[in-house]
Amino acid sequence: MMHPLVGVAVAYLLGSIPAAYIAGRIRGIDLRDHGSGNLGATNVFRVLGAKVGAVVMAFDVAKGALPVYFLAGVTGVERRGWWAIGYGVAAIIGHVRPVYLLWKGGGKGVATSAGVFLALSPIAAGVTTAIWIAVLLRSGYVSLASLTAAFVLPVGVLVAEGAHSPLFYVAMALAIFVLWTHRANIGRLRRGEESRFGGKTKAA
């Protein structure tokens, strides 16, 4: 049976797979030089279109959920315990700081975080996703939807899992982390310069 520490390393390597970067290279571009320059699904939607963006988003969600589901079984740990949470956190860190790109130019971790909590607390993740969609449809800003969802998630986990669940504290930490990764977006939102979702940026 695999040791849990090895599981953490595997989760990080899985999270590091840069789906957005790969999609861009298949189309002959480096997404870091186009659109927002971010290697997340939102930039893929803007630069490469909805079909490719949907595939990348699904992949980013999956690389958060699958390490929790399968590595917990392979390593023999509780699927909602600290080790499984560690696998999810490692996958998120891999997405934001991918080893395959020399720890630079990853995404902001929202889709991968959604996958992690889909595996750990499906009810809280489902409610949070519904609110993310509602804010996006209402405002047109992915960043605002992501920030709202990040702060709704701890409330959802609190209701679904209780204050004594380790997931609650991880959700609180994740909210702060998403706030940090979106600090540039917050500045653009305050200045009225943030791009709305739906417009496609042509790759040069």
pLDDT tens, residue by residue, 159-172: 999 989 999 999 99
User: How many domains would you assign to the chain?
Assistant: 2
Q: How does residue 30 score in pLDDT terms, banded at 50, 70 and 90? A: very high
For residue 94, tell me if it sits in a domain.
yes
For residue 154, tell me if it sits in a domain.
yes
Average pLDDT, the chain: 92
| Residue 78 near residue 165, CB atoms below 8 Å | no
Please check whether residues 154 and 68 belong to one and the same domain.
no
**pLDDT for the residue 104:** 82
Least confidently predicted of 83-92, 150-159, 176-185: 176-185
Residue 163 domain boundaries: 121-198
Residue 183 burial (C-beta neighbours within 10 Å; 0-12, 13-18, 19+)? exposed
Alpha-carbon distance 154 to 180, whole Å? 16
Q: How does residue 199 score in pLDDT terms, banded at 50, 70 and 90? A: low
Please check whether residues 63 and 137 belong to one and the same domain.
no
Please check whether residues 30 and 98 belong to one and the same domain.
yes
Please give the share of the chain, as a percent, with pLDDT higher than 90.
78
Q: Structure pTM?
A: 0.89
How many C-beta atoms surround the C-beta of residue 169 within 10 A?
14
State how far the alpha carbon of 177 is from the alpha carbons of 66, 113, 144, 191, in Å: 21, 11, 15, 22
Token pair of 38, please? 């971010």
**pLDDT for the residue 204:** 40
Please check whether residues 102 and 137 belong to one and the same domain.
no
For residue 73, tell me if it sits in a domain.
yes
Please check whether residues 59 and 92 belong to one and the same domain.
yes
For residue 203, tell me if it sits in a domain.
no
For residue 115, tell me if it sits in a domain.
no
For residue 204, tell me if it sits in a domain.
no
Among the residues of the chain, which ranges form H helices? 4-15, 19-26, 41-48, 50-66, 72-75, 82-96, 110-120, 122-139, 142-161, 166-181, 183-191
For residue 116, tell me if it sits in a domain.
no
Alpha-carbon distance 142 to 43, whole Å? 10
State how far the alpha carbon of 141 is from the alpha carbons of 84, 136, 196, in Å: 32, 6, 5
Please check whether residues 1 and 99 belong to one and the same domain.
yes
Please determine, for residue 183, whether its predicted confidence score (pLDDT) is greater than 50.
yes
In tens, the pLDDT along 81-131 reads 899 999 999 999 999 999 999 988 788 889 999 999 999 999 999 999 999
Give the pLDDT mean for 138-142.
93
Please check whether residues 130 and 69 belong to one and the same domain.
no
Alpha-carbon distance 142 to 137, whole Å? 9
**pLDDT for the residue 200:** 56
Please check whether residues 89 and 134 belong to one and the same domain.
no
* Boundary of a domain, candidates 53, 79, 108: 108
Please determine, for residue 157, whether its predicted confidence score (pLDDT) is greater than 60.
yes
Token pair of 107, please? 């995404």
Please check whether residues 18 and 88 belong to one and the same domain.
yes
Please check whether residues 70 and 130 belong to one and the same domain.
no
For residue 2, tell me if it sits in a domain.
yes
Residue 27 is classified by DSSP as T
